[in-house]
């Protein structure tokens, strides 16, 4: 493997089409496509300032690196990214990429990040200012993920979330095959139009959660005081350990809660309209 240490690059494509390359303590200044069409790349203690850094790359390992704001859109059309102990200040990272592994990574301005990606494995990651993160992603597994941004995981499929904190309205919108364990999901309109969402030991906040859902399952969850008007037009099987502020027109299934502030069944309920609701 070739090694480049303590050097600076800029401009267009300075390391284009490199293979079997390790860069250490390297700075990539303003420019474009610095490490494009490359394979088997290792980067350690590097700083990236120019945009489109890793495009169309196959197999790269990133450790203790910094992606400045100018390094936007830097991980597109890639395969085999292993990133750890790094700080990402740039938006629009990871598009149409696959086989992504992140450990102990902080992303501070992650708008439009992780779009149309597959095979994602994330642990101990913080993502801030991240509207539309994980949109259209498939085969995602995350643990100890902190999100502060709306519309997370829209249209995603085959997702497993553990021990996480999602501060996100419209989270899990129109998702399919999602399981969330031991997590706090806080934001209005949770999981509308979803299929096969399962929440286990989760805490739920925000108005009108879990409506228009098919195959919805809740196991031993709790509701925040603002999580009202829940389950409208949903097919649901739910056990809830505390008070639900209100339940409105669930379509079918069963709901059991410690208590329910208000049960609203009116003329707008949809067939079959046979959801069994119990308290106590």
Is the pLDDT score of 174 beyond 90? yes
Contact of 93 with 115, CB cutoff 8 Å: no
125 pLDDT more than 90: yes
Instruction: Check the CA dihedral 31-33-38-42 and report its sign.
Output: positive
pLDDT digits (tens, 9 = 90+) for 80-116: 999 999 999 999 999 999 999 999 999 999 999 999 9
User: Each residue of 7-24: pLDDT tens digit?
Assistant: 999 999 999 999 999 999
208: pLDDT strictly greater than 90:
yes
Separation between Cα atoms, residue 170 and residue 158, nearest integer Å = 18
Chain segment 30-69, per-residue pLDDT in tens: 999 999 999 999 999 999 999 999 999 999 999 999 999 9
Q: Which pLDDT value is given to residue 279?
A: 96
Q: What pTM was estimated for this model as a whole?
A: 0.96
- Per-residue pLDDT tens digits for 81-91: 999 999 999 99
With the C-alpha atoms ordered 217, 153, 246, 271, is the resulting torsion angle positive or negative? negative
pLDDT band at 1 (very low <50, low <70, confident <90, very high): confident
């Amino acid at each position: 493997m070739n090694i480049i240490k303590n050097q600076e690059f800029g401009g267009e494509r300075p390391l284009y089409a490199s293979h079997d390359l390790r860069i250490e303590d390297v700075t990539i200044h303003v420019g474009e496509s610095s490490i494009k069409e490359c394979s088997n790349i290792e980067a350690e203690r590097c700083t990236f300032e120019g945009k489109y850094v890793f495009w169309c790359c196959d197999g790269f390992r990133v450790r203790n690196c910094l992606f400045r704001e100018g390094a936007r859109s830097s991980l597109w059309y890639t395969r085999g990214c292993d990133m750890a102990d790094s700080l990402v200040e740039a938006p629009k990272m990871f598009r149409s990429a696959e086989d992504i592994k992140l450990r102990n990574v902080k992303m501070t301005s992650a708008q439009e990040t992780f779009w149309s990606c597959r095979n994602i494995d994330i642990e101990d990651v913080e993502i801030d200012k991240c509207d539309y993160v994980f949109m259209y992603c498939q085969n995602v597994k995350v643990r100890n993920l902190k999100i502060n941004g709306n519309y997370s995981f829209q249209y995603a499929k085959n997702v497993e979330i553990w021990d996480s904190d999602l501060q996100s309205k419209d989270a899990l919108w129109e998702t399919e095959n999602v399981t969330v364990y031991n997590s706090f999901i806080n934001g209005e309109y949770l999981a509308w139009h979803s299929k096969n969402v399962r929440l286990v030991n989760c805490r739920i906040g925000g108005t009108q959660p879990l409506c228009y859902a098919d195959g919805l399952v809740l196991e031993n969850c709790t509701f925040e005081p603002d999580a009202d008007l829940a389950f409208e037009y949903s097919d649901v099987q739910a056990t809830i350990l505390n008070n639900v502020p209100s339940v409105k027109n669930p379509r079918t299934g069963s709901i059991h809660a410690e208590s329910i502030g208000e049960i609203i069944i009116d003329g707008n309920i949809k067939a079959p309209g046979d959801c069994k609701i119990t308290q106590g």
